[in-house]
Amino acid sequence: MKLPGDMGVSTPIGNGHRSCGTVCLADTNRSKKGMRMTKKLLAAAAALTLLPLGACGHKTDAAENVQAAADNTADAIDANADAVRDQGGNIADNVEATMDNKADALNNKADAVRAAGENKADAIDDAKK
């Protein structure tokens, strides 16, 4: 009598492992889900450890000034990033308009070539009559 594992069919044995040595799909999905959950838990723990540091005020005016200057610099960098995104969008719009105009010009040339060919063919037909 052949066992299912001998016929190329894997069957679960024990805690979800297959007789052929591979792990079943359900186990793989559970492992991935567990890893995602662990990553989320670690990220949440890291965020919680930083919360007390951000909530503390600085003890000296010099430290406050340094923090304010850093915040202002970061705000300026964020504004530059937004400006770059906006400029990229404007450039893309201009390029699209330019390409549309070039495509329209090519379509007009194609129409002119067709019309010229039709006129020439008509002239040949008229000459034969």
pLDDT at 22 over 60: no
Q: What would the pLDDT profile of 95-104 be if each residue is shown by its tens digit?
A: 999 999 999 9
How much is the pTM? 0.40
CB neighbour class for 55 (10 Å; exposed up to 12, middle 13-18, buried from 19): exposed
Q: What would the pLDDT profile of 52-73 be if each residue is shown by its tens digit?
A: 555 567 789 999 999 999 999 9
Q: Which residues pair with 122 in a beta bridge?
A: none
Q: Pull the structure tokens for residue 57.
A: 């005020």
Domain positions in the chain are: 1-50, 68-129
Which residues touch 17 (CB under 8 Å, ≥6 apart)? 23, 24, 27
Cα–Cα distance for residue pair 113/74, rounded to 1 Å: 58
Three-state DSSP at 23 gives strand
